[in-house]
Amino acid sequence: MATWSNFNFQNSTSPLMEQIIFFHDHTLIILIITTILVSYLMMSLFFNKYINRFLMESQMIELIWTILPAITLIFIALPSLRLLYLLDELNNPLITLKSIGHQWYWSYEYSDFNNVEFDSYMTQFENNNNFRLLDVDNRIILPMNNQIRILITATDVIHSWTVPSLGVKVDANPGRLNQTSFFINRPGIFFGQCSEICGANHSFMPIVIESISIKNFINWINNYS
């Protein structure tokens, strides 16, 4: 989860989020190199006394400063497209979780397991026993090391099911069923929030995932009443 003055991404919980972080770092390096180069060029242009009254055009320099940025952009565009299509892929999911956005809470359905369903409301913060503004009464329980499909929809307005450490951010639209998938590669509790401005209590419909072993997951789903 994000803690105070957390400037970077949260630690990844899925292979796809790891790739997203790598892509972010790659793009940031290109950005820093470009910024330094351009500011150096501007500085040296401002602070010199060279004058050439007859320089009106130069085909060669214009050719260079058109092609160089174009090549740089390709180095960002190709990995970006690779990631985009990788995120869209669905690799034989083991279970499907349906997540429904409401004003202002999420509800979940495990359609594969006798349609287990429950609402997930934010809980009041008390005595440092839970996570302020991030904890819910009924958490999503999911098995780690398994491909999971998530179907996302809403009943009233547009919400957005967003869990940063998984690299998932999908809008929940009324009348539409969106699909994405992820693979949780470690146990733990992972937090998310709605990220579509959906009304007065938009900030108070968090998402909590408890990632546990498949054995404990089967135990949980069997004993669900």
To ligand CUA, the closest distance from the beta carbon of 205 in angstroms equals 5
To ligand CUA, the closest distance from the beta carbon of 159 in angstroms equals 3
- Kindly tell me which of 169 and 202 has the beta carbon lying closer to ligand CUA: 202
- Kindly tell me which of 20 and 122 has the beta carbon lying closer to ligand CUA: 122
To ligand CUA, the closest distance from the beta carbon of 200 in angstroms equals 10
To ligand CUA, the closest distance from the beta carbon of 104 in angstroms equals 6
In the structure encoding, which two tokens stand for residue 171, read together? 């809008």
- Kindly tell me which of 101 and 143 has the beta carbon lying closer to ligand CUA: 101
To ligand CUA, the closest distance from the beta carbon of 107 in angstroms equals 12
| DSSP code of residue 136 | B
Position of tokens 């359905």? 109
To ligand CUA, the closest distance from the beta carbon of 33 in angstroms equals 37
Give DSSP secondary structure letters for 94-141: SEEEEEEEETTEEEEEETTSTTEEEEEPBPPP-TTSS-TTT-BSS-EE
Do 178 and 171 form a contact (C-beta atoms < 8 A)?
yes
- Strand bridging mode 188-194 / 207-212: antiparallel
Position of tokens 């010199």? 48
- Kindly tell me which of 139 and 202 has the beta carbon lying closer to ligand CUA: 202
Pairs from 122-128 (Cβ < 8 Å, separation ≥ 24)? 122/204, 122/205, 122/206
- Binding region for ligand CUA (CB under 6 A): 101, 104, 159, 194, 196-198, 202, 205
- Kindly tell me which of 16 and 166 has the beta carbon lying closer to ligand CUA: 166
| Interatomic CA distance for residues 143 and 185, integer angstroms | 9
- Kindly tell me which of 98 and 159 has the beta carbon lying closer to ligand CUA: 159
Do 105 and 137 form a contact (C-beta atoms < 8 A)?
no
